[in-house]
Amino acid sequence: MLSVPTLWTVFVANFLALGLIWAYVMRSYPAFAPARFWTGSAFTAAAGASLAMLRVVLTDQMLPLVFAGTALILAICLAAMGIRQFFHRPLSWRFTLLVTGLGFAGLSFFTFAYDSVPGRLTVFSIAEAIPLALNLKLLLTPQEGRVNPGARLAGIVAVFIIAIFSVRLFSGVTGFAGGFAYAQFSPVQSVLVLVLVFLSMALNFGFLLMAIDHLRNEVADLALLDDLTGVGNRRHLVQRLTEECARSQRSGQPFALLVIDLDGFKGINDTHGHAAGDACLQHFTLMTQTRLRPGDMLARSGGDEFCIVLPSATLHEGAMIARRVLEVCRADAEQCTAQDIPISVSIGVAQWTADMGAFPDRLIAAADHALYDAKKGGRNRFATYDPAPPLVPGFEAAVVPDMAARQRA
């Protein structure tokens, strides 16, 4: 039987379980800030449901009912703040306090000043629906061109929750299906409350999927970043070069690659220690990033070697970027005093060509060849890779018969 105490007991158990799950997530991943709001939301909702149960026991007291409704309004506001935190949107405690305060004032007015069940239901339903409605766009709209499955699920569930509140509001105002009272449920309304319990679990499941997706992306990012400098690592570099090669093969549009080697880096480590060497690598990374274009990629391919991927760039444009990097290194070296360690680099520049196809190792080999030429010329230099010009059409065909004629002679 769907009695009132049974329904509120289900509510309490449901939100306590969700609160414990989110508390575990919050403790295990302290950097995941949305978990704090979703933990607070679940426990606040459990407290609100407990107060509603107290109202069932104390039938002559209405104060627990007012506090129960206020707690549930605060819980939905905290859940909405977690959504905004997840999508890195500005948080407003003022809005949360305003909605909660107005909800408390409205419930108090329609309880003590003017006793009205439809009035209380109207205030509660609107206060519950507004925070979810204002964040529906965040949940249902792809972010950065990518759909988050958990957010999509949470958005769909939020639409159903708002619809349930609308149905309950209609029932309470019009008296349809027996009207509504917190302490007395009709069978239809009891089913709606059970549906709300299910939807609250589904909503939090959507939040959990959002958290899993976020953590998975963080792990993927860490697997593609260099621990010391924070730029892409060799795996990320090869992945990006493969993508650019495939794109250029389809479009015929070239791109450039710079291979950079810090001159005399072994001597820095041997003379000043590995900590100083690490500092040099980090400093070089910061200097170089100031000379790149939006969309360019700097990666540390290993040791003291870096690469820069320049999408949609020609060999000439690649040489211009190489010159910029050299200029900033020279200017920095001129300012070095006392214990400062000047940094000099050698750079090889190569451009993707059709004969390289979708094989990034061919482009890397070409840039390495140019790097070797730059090192032969001294420090703080760059060189470009110019492949041998193709044979003139018909030249090869003319040479072969001539060689055959010599063999016959």
Does residue 393 fall inside a structural domain? no
Contact of 349 with 403, CB cutoff 8 Å: no
Above 50 in pLDDT, residue 404?
Answer: no
Q: Enter the tokens of residue 21.
A: 């799950």
Does residue 352 fall inside a structural domain? yes
Mean pLDDT throughout 321-333?
91
Report pLDDT for 296.
Answer: 93
219 and 290 belong to one structural domain: no
Does residue 322 fall inside a structural domain? yes
249 and 217 belong to one structural domain: no
Mean pLDDT throughout 4-9?
76
286 and 377 belong to one structural domain: yes
Above 70 in pLDDT, residue 142?
Answer: yes
Q: Enter the tokens of residue 173.
A: 């105002």
33 and 173 belong to one structural domain: yes
Could you read off the pLDDT of 34-49 as tens digits, one per residue?
Answer: 999 999 999 999 999 8
Q: Enter the tokens of residue 402.
A: 């001539």
Residues present in the chain in total: 409
Contact of 343 with 333, CB cutoff 8 Å: yes
Does residue 45 fall inside a structural domain? yes
Report pLDDT for 325.
Answer: 93
Report pLDDT for 7.
Answer: 78
Report pLDDT for 403.
Answer: 32
Does residue 363 fall inside a structural domain? yes
Could you read off the pLDDT of 233-273 as tens digits, one per residue?
Answer: 999 999 999 999 999 999 989 999 999 999 988 888 888 89
Report pLDDT for 399.
Answer: 35
Above 70 in pLDDT, residue 406?
Answer: no
Residues known to be catalytic: 304
Above 60 in pLDDT, residue 199?
Answer: yes
214 and 310 belong to one structural domain: no
Above 70 in pLDDT, residue 214?
Answer: yes
Mean pLDDT throughout 178-190?
58
Mean pLDDT throughout 324-342?
86
Domain of residue 169, CATH code = 1.20.1070
pLDDT grade for 131, boundaries at 50, 70 and 90: very high
157 and 194 belong to one structural domain: yes
337 and 379 belong to one structural domain: yes
- Across the chain, what does the average pLDDT equal? 86
Between CA 19 and CA 75, with CA 102 as vertex, the angle to 5 degrees is 5
Checking DSSP bridges between strand 256-262 and strand 345-351, what pairing results, if any?
antiparallel
pLDDT grade for 396, boundaries at 50, 70 and 90: very low
9 and 71 belong to one structural domain: yes
Mean pLDDT throughout 366-370?
94
pLDDT grade for 58, boundaries at 50, 70 and 90: low
19 versus 174: the higher-pLDDT residue is 19
Could you read off the pLDDT of 337-352 as tens digits, one per residue?
Answer: 767 888 889 999 999 9
Q: Which of 166, 201, 223 is where one domain is finished?
A: 223
Does residue 265 fall inside a structural domain? yes
253 and 147 belong to one structural domain: no
Report pLDDT for 56.
Answer: 63
Residue 293: give the domain boundaries: 234-384
Report pLDDT for 27.
Answer: 94
Does residue 60 fall inside a structural domain? yes
61 and 191 belong to one structural domain: yes
What is the residue type of 61? Q
Report pLDDT for 389.
Answer: 52
Rounded-to-integer distance, Cα 173 and Cα 221, Å: 52
Rounded-to-integer distance, Cα 120 and Cα 117, Å: 5
Could you read off the pLDDT of 106-118 as tens digits, one per residue?
Answer: 999 999 999 888 8
Rounded-to-integer distance, Cα 405 and Cα 313, Å: 47
Total number of domains constituting the chain: 2
253 and 212 belong to one structural domain: no
Domain of residue 338, CATH code = 3.30.70.270
Backbone angles phi, psi at 350, to 5 degrees: -140, 155
Rounded-to-integer distance, Cα 236 and Cα 67, Å: 54
pLDDT grade for 364, boundaries at 50, 70 and 90: very high
Report pLDDT for 202.
Answer: 95
Could you read off the pLDDT of 267-288 as tens digits, one per residue?
Answer: 888 888 989 899 999 999 999 9
22 and 96 belong to one structural domain: yes
Most confident of 6-10, 74-78, 171-175, 190-194: 74-78
Does residue 350 fall inside a structural domain? yes
Q: Which of 223, 255, 284 is where one domain is finished?
A: 223
Give every CB contact of residue 303 below 8 A, 6+ residues apart in sequence: 265
